[in-house]
Amino acid sequence: MSKLDKAALGEPDTTAPSAPDDAFLSVRDLRIHFDTDDGLVKSVDGVSFDVRKGKTLGIVGESGSGKSVTSLGVMGLHRSARAKVTGEVWLDGQELIAADPDEVRRLRGRKMAMIFQDPLSAMHPYYTVGQQIVEAYRVHHDVSKKAARQRAVEMLDRVGIPEPAKRVDGYPHEFSGGMRQRAMIAMALVNNPELLIADEPTTALDVTVQAQILDLIRDLQKEFGSAVIMITHDLGVVAEMADDLLVMYGGRCVERGPAEDVFSEPRHPYTWGLLGSMPRLDREETDRLIPIKGAPPSLINLPSGCAFNPRCPYADIPKDNVTRTVRPELTEVGGSHWAACHMTQEQRERIWTEEIAPKL
Amino acid sequence: MAAADDPAAATRGRTAVAAYILRRVMGAVLLLLVVSAVTFAIFFLVPRLGGQTADQLATQYVGKDANPESVAAIKKNLGLDQPVYEQYWNFLKGLVVGADYTFGPDATHCGAPCFGYSFKSHIEVWPQLEQRIPVSFSLAVGAAVIWLVTGVTTGVISALRKGRPIDRVSMFIALAGVSLPIFFTGQILLALFVYEIPVWDSIDYVPFTENPAEWAWHLMLPWVSLAFLFSALYARLTRAGMLETMSEDYIRTARAKGLTETTVVAKHGLRSALTPIVTIFGMDFGTLVGTAVLTETVFSLQGIGAYSVQAIKDNDLPIVMGVTLVAAFFIVLCNLIVDLVYAAIDPRVRYS
Amino acid sequence: MSDDKTVSEPDTSGSTLTKDTTADGDVLLKVTGLQKHFPIRKGLLQRQTGAVRAVDGIDFEVRKGETLGVVGESGCGKSTMGRLITRLLEPTGGTVEFEGKDITHLGTSDLRPMRRDVQMIFQDPYSSLNPRHTIGTIVSAPFRLQGVQPEGGVKKEVQRLLSVVGLNPEHYNRYPHEFSGGQRQRIGIARALALNPKLVVADEPVSALDVSIQAQVVNLLDDLQDELGLTYVIIAHDLSVVRHVSDRIAVMYLGKIVELADRDKLYKSPMHPYSKALLSAVPIPDPKRRGVKSERILLKGDVPSPIAPPSGCRFHTRCWKATEICKTTEPPLVELRAGQRVACHHPENFEDQQPQDTTLLSSAKEVAADNGAAAPVEK
């Protein structure tokens, strides 16, 4: 694992938005807006990123940041009349937003697959685990039920479910939380997808089981060389899994870059806030956490200017009230490390090294 | 499939299912006993609370030529002078093996299930019921098929086209259906298709065994008017259930697997959405067999509902009690079937 | 984990922490042999065929002014334990003493005075507040239930409580849905504080909240303890949060306390293998540490069923150090080091309690093999 990471670091970075050629998944200016009774909800409002084969992108954010909506958008799962999806999603050289929905459906589950947060509600309670995996396999492969069942048993075995030939006939409610998530992973991987999106895959699990599942995802990624998007609110999980990191706030990306850079030299006050909010086992015990004041914004009424400005302790540093009037664009702050903040690079560097980092 | 891999588990599964069925059947029998006891108690007590003595009750059977001797004889024959538990026991025995009664010089046998004799016509209750049950049952069955098909289809379409014109129109019609009483729709249909344009010359009951086509044709109008009410109700229920199901996580998973929308709706959505419908349907159907009074009256069908109304008017307790028990029997039976079907649909309830 | 760099200096830290050596005089809550078994009924007659042994014989005490953290995975019985000590549930066995008074089997009316002193904060700020009541009504409910008339009137007192927990007192007449998750949790805290309780039991108080909000609530709990001298029992699955808030921590596994220790001792040199595995599983938010895989102990499979817990030490089925004795004899919870009680035959970071028993169980060998050289080297 560590060797791989080192190698990745040494390589010239290709995650900049200008290089979609070698990225397996390339998202450009994705916007997903919902027309609701209360008004237009801009769940995702202009997000771009790339994921390469064998690499993991972590998407971090709080509730309502748009992280899950983004992933469902990539999968083409916002087909309701009220959702308006614009931008480009390039999967292995094929654009999906403008593509025929049935074409995208054929890619779903085969070329790109998804793991969801709560496997108990994400699996159908009336069908056995085997039936559900068989169904996922047969929709993309013209094989007999028997062959598909054999494949399901293989997959259950591969994800570490004991006695797979017996468990294949069990119902989801008969599995423990960890085993259910394994079954869910087996179902997602049954067609050898090249892109795997994991939406909070371990949030509902205990730490020891979480460690098992993360380990499993890592192993499988190594084995199949797939591109992985890991969506989570847990910075610990991201730090462990992700090569690159995307921090979302209010439907937009506020910071993006190689995971090590974002963790060691974060350049957005929101990222600082996230780091300061969590107690850490790898540091000496601190007296107080440094929370972010206020609560995540409503997507219907996003604050004008920088969406983070009402919660940002540094909102007054940039001149002319610009944080409250102008939306900051992503600017490069280091090698393929981007952040959207009105403060100057120097100001941010100073605040980070002098005020924030020592308290973490 | 499981059996091949692990016979022990399969056997365990089967015994669990058998135990479940046995438990439900025993529960149903027990429930029927309780219902019969309560019904009997009510019908035993009601006249006595009204101040009637055993003599007066016996008088009802004798009619005009009542004299103390004949009344006493009847009282003895019917066991009206016995304590309540003994009467109940005899009643239960009569249901199972039949009973013998002597009226005057003749001894008559009232075959099982014996519900006793009508106060009014002095004839056995059961043969009367036996004649009328098929009518009520036919009415309920046909209407049920119609309302299930139309109601569920409308509900599903409405849910999938939520907010579109077709949804709004169907839900408006459904609201009308729920609000319009059966004697209104029934009368309108009668007026239109029997009196105005005589598509049907009359509404009769033709036994299914005699001529199935005629049976269906002649019951069409009552079916439609009864089904209209229920299908409206079922359309609304299905729509609500479907809307809820389609927002479940597992539907999103099904879509993420790349299934076609048809498979997602039919295999994953509908199956869950229909589960509560099965429960409600069982209860509705069971209840309807004994209580389609209005429809039977409007279309002059000789069903048990209409029969019971007449019996209540005549204060003919044995008939009322017979109808009550038959109706209860259907309700309990349908609930039993629902429980079993439910277990077949939802694996989670099987072993609880 | 960070234990390896600190494990060499446990003695100094042990002597500086004298808190735990104080006598029983300031014990607020004392629990002895506490048990809760939920019966399982089966068959036609619904006979009891077994029991879920949710809490199965635990002893601990909570001292005035301290925070006792309780950690463990789902199904370890920590939430049941919380409900037992607040007497929302009646124990099946053992005793609960609050301020020296046995409250184990008190009835509803006898419990009333104790209910003033012991309050609970729940996990879900959405379902634990009645949506039809205003905040004023919710926070003042304890006054009505206990028939207490606060000085200066109910309204004034409620407004004071709202400002104590950092809410706007003017929002007295608003409804729960007008508040965010973090604010709702503050309302729950205000309600718990209304009667000036001595002990507050919080069951997963922050786990339903967003990361940035968690920190706000954790800090609030901290401040309230300082200002009001509260005693906390905080039940949580998040080991980082528990470390941050607790003075002492109980680690539960399958209805038992396997380790009960001062915070620093537990986090720096856990003695129970389960504590060690649990701590090692917490992901560290530092990508540079990734790949140092040998530090992590991966346990196999799931927690066994609390209906039929394993014999002897309940952790022996998943432990890499388990020997024959672990299977047959249940280790008692004993104080091996000042301020650190452990129930283990072969503790980590301490001398073996059963050194004669060296043959590993086959399950232990598997776990050890899975984790490379991580575990079995230290005997």
Determine the pLDDT at residue C298. 85
Alpha-carbon distance of C267 to C261, in angstroms, equals: 9
CB contact under 8 A, A2 and C292: yes
From A139's Cα to the closest Cα of chain B, the distance in A is 6
Establish if B120 belongs to a structural domain.
Answer: no
Q: Which residues form the domain of A303?
A: 269-359
DSSP B306-337: HHHHHHHHTT-HHHHHHHHHHHHHHHHHHHHH
Could you tell me if B189 and B321 lie in one domain?
yes
Q: Are residues C352 and C235 in the same domain?
A: no
Same domain flag for B173 and B253: yes
Domain count, chain B: 2
Identify all chain B residues contacting A166, using CB atoms and an 8 Å cutoff. 2, 5-6, 9
Residue that finishes a domain, picked among A135, A167, A192: A192
Residue A229 domain flag: no
A265 and chain C in contact, CB less than 8 A: no
- How is B91-157 classified by DSSP, letter by letter? HHHHHHH-EEEEETTEEEEEPSS---B-TTT-SBHHHHHHHHHHHHHHHHHHHHHHHHHHHHHHHHH
Q: Is A340 part of a structural domain of the chain?
A: yes
For the cut 50, the answer to whether the pLDDT of residue B153 exceeds it is yes
B258 lies within 8 A of chain A by CB: yes
State mean pLDDT over B15-31. 84
CA distance A61 to A70: 12
| B258/A105 Cβ within 8 A | yes
Cis amide bond preceding B113, omega within 30: yes
Is the CB of C283 less than 8 angstroms away from the CB of A210? Answer: yes
Out of A233, A282, A288, name the one closest to residue C211 (CB): A233
Position A352 in a domain? yes
Side-chain half-sphere of C166: how many Cα atoms within 13 Å? 19
Provide the angle, in degrees to the nearest 10, between the axes of the packed helices B125-160 and B165-179: 160
Cα–Cα separations (whole angstroms), residue C61 to C20, C32, C261? 11, 8, 12
Residues C247 and C351 placed together within one structural domain of the fold = no
Instruction: Mark whether C176 and C313 lie in a shared domain.
Output: no
B247-292 pLDDT tens trace: 999 999 999 999 999 999 999 999 899 888 988 998 899 888 877 8
Q: Which member of A211, A279, A290 has the closest CB to residue C243? A: A279
A66 occurs within a structural domain? no
Query: Can you tell me whether residue C260 is helix, strand or coil?
Result: strand
Q: Quick one: CA dihedral A179, A182, A184, A187, positive or negative?
A: negative
Claim to verify: residue B168 and residue B300 sit in the same structural domain: yes
Our CA angle for B13, B18, B20, nearest 5°, is 95
B209 is in which domain, residue-wise?
125-349
Q: What is the CATH number of the domain that holds C197?
A: 3.40.50.300
Rounded to a whole number of angstroms, the distance between the first and last alpha carbons of chain A is 27
Question: Based on the domain organization, do B342 and B226 belong to the same domain?
Answer: yes
Maximum pairwise Cα distance, chain C: 70
Q: Is A7 on the interface with C (CB under 8 A)?
A: no
Alpha carbon of C274 to those of A257, C240, C246: distances in Å? 37, 16, 19
- CB-nearest partner of A109 from B250, B257, B346: B257
Q: What is the CATH number of the domain that holds B257?
A: 1.10.3720.10
Q: Which residues contact A47 (CB under 8 A, 6 or more apart)?
A: A27, A29, A30, A31, A66, A70, A87, A246, A248, A251, A252, A253
Q: Is position C342 within any domain?
A: yes
Counting as low any pLDDT under 50, the low residues of chain A are: 1-19
Which of A141, A161, A192 terminates a domain? The answer is: A192
Interior/surface letters B43-70, b for 16+ CB within 10 angstroms, e for the rest = ebeebeeeeeebeebbbbbbeeeeeeeb
Residues 302 through 341 of chain C touching chain A, CB cutoff 8 Å: 302-303
Domain shared by B101 and B138, yes or no: no
Inside any domain, residue A98: no
Placement of tokens 């365990």 in the chain: B12
Are B341 and B219 in a shared domain? yes
Chains A, C: CB contacts within 8 A come to 153
> What residue type is assigned to position C249 of the chain?
I
Residue B8, number of CB atoms within 10 A of its CB: 8
Query: Is B5 at the interface with chain A, CB within 8 A?
Result: yes
Query: What is the widest separation between alpha-carbon atoms in chain B?
Result: 85
Q: How far is B33 from chain C (nearest CA, A)?
A: 18
Query: Looking at chain A, which subunits does it touch, using at least 3 CB pairs closer than 8 Å as the criterion?
Result: B, C
If asked whether residues C68 and C186 sit together in one domain, one would say yes
C365 and C306 share one domain: yes
- Same domain for B52 and B141, yes or no, is no
Are residues B89 and B198 both part of a single domain?
no
The pLDDT of residue B5: 43
Distance CA B57, CA B67 (A): 13
- On chain A, the residues whose CB falls within 8 A of the CB of C244 are 279, 285-286, 289
At residue A119, the 3 state secondary structure works out as: helix
Q: Between β-strands C101-102 and C93-98, what pairing exists: parallel, antiparallel or unpaired? A: antiparallel
Please report whether residue B169 resides in a domain: yes
CB contact under 8 Å between B22 and C44, yes or no, is yes
- C214 lies in some domain: yes
Q: C132, C158, C131: which is closest to C144 by C-alpha?
A: C158
Whether residue C70 is found in the same domain as residue C135:
yes
* Predicted local confidence at residue A254, as pLDDT: 96
In a domain, B148, yes or no: yes
Question: Looking at A25-29, A265-269, B21-25, B329-333, which range is the least confident one?
Answer: B21-25
* Paired sense of beta strands A56-60 and A227-232, if any: parallel
Nearest CA in chain B to C40: B352
C45 near B CB under 8 A = no
C232 and C325: one domain? no
Say whether pLDDT at B139 is over 50.
yes
Question: Does one domain contain both B172 and B59?
Answer: no
Question: How many folded domains does chain A comprise?
Answer: 2
**What confidence score (pLDDT) does residue C207 get?**
86
- List, for chain C, all residue ranges whose pLDDT scores fall below the cut of 70: 1-25, 43-45, 291-294, 372-379
User: Whole-angstrom Cα distance, residue A258 to residue A13?
Assistant: 9
- Judge whether A41 lies within some domain: no
Which residues pair with residue C248 across a beta bridge? C68, C262
Reported ipTM: the value is: 0.87
Of residues B294 and C3, more confidently modeled = B294
A174 part of contact set with chain C, CB < 8 Å = no
CB A31 within 8 A of CB A217: no
- Beta strand pairing call for A94-95 and A83-91: antiparallel
Asked, for residue B205, whether it belongs to a domain, the answer is yes
Instruction: Name chain C contacts of B22, Cβ cutoff 8 Å.
Output: 44
Residues B131 and B68 in one domain: no
- C139 and C63 in a single domain? The answer is yes
Select from A192, A220, A235 the last residue of a domain: A192
pLDDT at residue A132 in the model: 96
Pairing type for strands A195-199 and A25-36 reads: unpaired
Q: Which residues form the domain of C149? A: 26-42+49-259
Residue B117 lies in a domain: no
Identify whether the C-beta of residue B116 lies closer than 8 Å to the C-beta of residue B93: no
Total domains in chain C come to: 2
Instruction: Outline where DSSP puts E strands in chain C.
Output: 27-42, 47-63, 67-71, 93-98, 101-102, 118-121, 199-203, 231-235, 248-253, 256-262, 334-337, 340-342
Q: Given an 8 Å threshold on Cβ–Cβ distance, is A240 in contact with C284?
A: yes
